[in-house]
Copies of this chain bind each other. A is one copy, B any other.
């Protein structure tokens, strides 16, 4: 997907919501467990219910790989369902890959060519040749981990390098390997003040922001501190939306949550 197309969707809906499809089987509504492929059925219902309020979907591959072949089947069917029915939604494989060049290339081909995802999340620890293969596909995106939203962010990402935080150093370095049209960054929302510094350093890049809600970040703070002139944000929520109810009304409740959040976004996205 082109950057312009993504921005057009955001402007159209005045929403930068991305729905995380992390279908932990222990949390699925019980009545779905009788279906042949409960994860797929769950995802389809969530996708249909939330699509009007969001501009992207982000399956985290771990939640599928954990169930082996049947999980991978659910993932591939889910991706196909989105591509077929919601081709204007931005589709992110949250896989956090990163390996030496020829191996990263294998991953890129798998996620971009075979599965037709728009973007994949990538870990930066192995450096340029581990990230570059993801930047060589037309209209496809690498979303590189900058500052994550978990507790462990202090262990590596917040180490000091030449008087600045490692994550800032890494993000500025990675930014040189691509452009704001094929590269985004993951920036955890529990650190809204840090968002200001990141925005100063990277005024033009889209930021994928997890951690709003369940992980403690404030939607308002993220929008106030993270937006640029093209919005420049994709705010991801998973559990708060997809597990809003564990009853038969799970899809309705998910829609309500997504609508609520998109309404909050509309106050800020006034294009």
Q: Which residues of B contact A125 (CB under 8 A)?
A: 123-125, 145, 148, 156-157
Min C-beta distance of A21 to chain B, whole Å: 13
Kindly report how many copies of this chain are found in the complex they form together.
2
* Any B CB within 8 A of the CB of A137: no
Task: Report yes or no: B150 in contact with A101, Cβ–Cβ below 8 A.
Answer: yes
Min C-beta distance of A237 to chain B, whole Å: 14
Min C-beta distance of A164 to chain B, whole Å: 11
* Any B CB within 8 A of the CB of A173: yes
Q: Which residues of B contact A114 (CB under 8 A)?
A: 66, 68
Size category of the binding interface on chain A: 35 or more
- Given the known interface contacts A69-B72, A99-B62, the answer about A150 and B162 at a Cβ–Cβ threshold of 8 Å is no
Per-position binary interface string of chain A over residues 138-176, scored 1 when its CB falls under 8 Å from any chain B CB and 0 otherwise? 000000010011111111110111100010011001000
Task: Report yes or no: B145 in contact with A63, Cβ–Cβ below 8 A.
Answer: no
* Any B CB within 8 A of the CB of A43: no
- Counting from the closest, the 4 A-B pairs by CB-CB distance are A127-B152, A127-B155, A66-B106, A66-B110
Residues of A within 8 A of B (CB): 22, 24, 60, 62-63, 65-69, 72-73, 76, 96-104, 106-107, 109-110, 114-115, 123-131, 145, 148-157, 159-162, 166, 169-170, 173
